[in-house]
Amino acid sequence: MTDFLGNNERFAYYLLRTLDLRRFDSGSAQASINRNFLYPIPIEVPGREEQDRIATLLGALDDKIALHAKMNATLEAMARAVFEDWFIRFGPVRTKAEGRAPPGLAPDLAALFPDRLTETADGEVPGGWRCSTVGEEVECVGGSTPSTDAAHLWHPGEHAWTTPKDLAQRPEPFLLTTSRKISAAGLAGISSGLLPVGSVLLSSRAPIGYRAITAIPVAINQGYIGLRCTSAIGPEFVYLWLGANMDGIHARANGSTFMEISKASFRPIPMLVPPQGIMEGFVSLVRPMFDRIRTNQEETRTLTELRDLLLPRLISGQLRLRGAEHALEAVL
């Protein structure tokens, strides 16, 4: 669409979002819409001034949502850069081995890093660091799906229950909500029970590799490996470790219908564990980043719900702008 005939372009975008265009799908293998089906659709369009105000109001919400997404991507990239420098490339150790002070580190933190690398069966590692496995450092558990034929396992829905589809729909570091809930009876049939806040989820099949930190207690289905973190190995470290080791995780997967990594194959993956002081220094740096990410996600959820509530009512004229503007002032 290139000629908006004097209408506000952004308003036209929001107007199209309120139409159920899926009913005009004329594709077979791939969804498509014939524009000739769109021309006769009756619509009511307010004047240009009203369009501008509606577009500005809804646009402010979308702009804030986009800003949060950009900020979160930057924060996660910063945390990932610290993890890879410290625990993959061993930047501070190599710098000290050259007789220089690691840049950007406080002297007391820099002093915790060794000044040499030691040759091991797993390659060069910093002196004094421990070669372990993920299964030795965190508890790895699986889940299951309550029978869908037994209504009492699902109703009343009291406990959050997740499948990897929740992470596919919201590819964000924190899992804030789930699309389904199970009853207490349904939870009783899942051996891993409710994973606590601060657990880390890894989708183990179809596909392998979705990750999230739980922001709510949650039960999981069989498509996950759930990792219960400890005070020594926190969720931020585990989340970033999974991302940095994804190639190795995929290499241990197998399957005929679809690729899957089992808990038995996952637990022996090597994990290099630094001394507790370095781990604490790492957490002190990255946890504020993850806290901000979580806050942004929570705010984005509120903004999205408000936008989706206002959008059809403003476009249809059901809600006047003055009331919508008051609602917007409360969250922006």
Q: What is the mean pLDDT of the chain?
A: 91
Sorted by sequence, the CB contacts under 8 Å of residue 276 that are 6+ apart come out as 232
CA gap 30, 32 in Å, rounded: 6
**Residues above pLDDT 70, as percent of the chain:** 90
- pLDDT value at residue 45: 78
Phi, psi of 148, deg, nearest 5: -75, -10
Question: Residue 179 carries which DSSP code?
Answer: S
Residue 156 preceded by cis peptide, ω within 30: yes
CA gap 181, 157 in Å, rounded: 5
Q: Where are the domains of the chain?
A: 49-129+274-332, 135-272
Residue pLDDT, tens place only, 189-206:
999 999 999 999 999 998
Task: Say how many residues make up the chain.
Answer: 332
Give the residue from 65, 59, 112, 104 showing the smallest Cα distance to 82.
Answer: 104
At 39, the amino acid letter reads Y
Residue pLDDT, tens place only, 99-153:
999 999 999 999 999 999 999 887 899 999 999 999 999 999 999 999 999 999 9
**Which contacts (CB < 8 Å, 24+ apart) does range 41-49 have?**
43/15, 43/19, 44/316, 44/317, 45/7, 45/15, 46/317, 48/6, 48/7, 48/8
24, two tokens = 């005009």
More confident site: 43 or 14: 14
CA gap 241, 292 in Å, rounded: 20
Rounded average pLDDT over 79-91:
98
Q: Tell whether the torsion through CA atoms of 191, 189, 254 and 84 is positive or negative.
A: negative
Residue pLDDT, tens place only, 31-62:
556 566 666 666 677 888 888 898 999 999 99
Residue pLDDT, tens place only, 220-250:
999 999 999 988 999 999 999 999 999 999 9
**CB-CB contact of 222 with 165 (8 Å):** no
CA gap 286, 316 in Å, rounded: 45
- pLDDT value at residue 123: 86
Lowest mean pLDDT among 158-162, 227-231, 321-325: 321-325
* pTM assigned to the model: 0.90
CA gap 80, 282 in Å, rounded: 11
At residue 133's C-alpha, the angle toward residues 164 and 287, to 5°, is 60
pLDDT above 90 for 318 = no
CA gap 160, 182 in Å, rounded: 7
**Which contacts (CB < 8 Å, 24+ apart) does range 128-132 have?**
128/275, 129/272, 129/273, 129/274, 129/275, 130/272, 130/273, 130/274, 131/270, 131/272, 131/273, 132/270, 132/271, 132/272, 132/273
Lowest mean pLDDT among 14-23, 31-40, 72-81: 31-40
- pLDDT value at residue 171: 85
- pLDDT value at residue 41: 67
- pLDDT value at residue 96: 97
299 CB-contact burial (10 Å; exposed 0-12 / middle 13-18 / buried 19+): middle
**CB-CB contact of 228 with 139 (8 Å):** yes
Q: Which fold has domain 49-129+274-332?
A: Helix Hairpins (1.10.287)
**CB-CB contact of 232 with 254 (8 Å):** no
At residue 266's C-alpha, the angle toward residues 73 and 208, to 5°, is 45
Q: Which fold has domain 135-272?
A: Adenine-n6-DNA-methyltransferase TaqI; Chain A, domain 2 (3.90.220)
At 147, the amino acid letter reads S
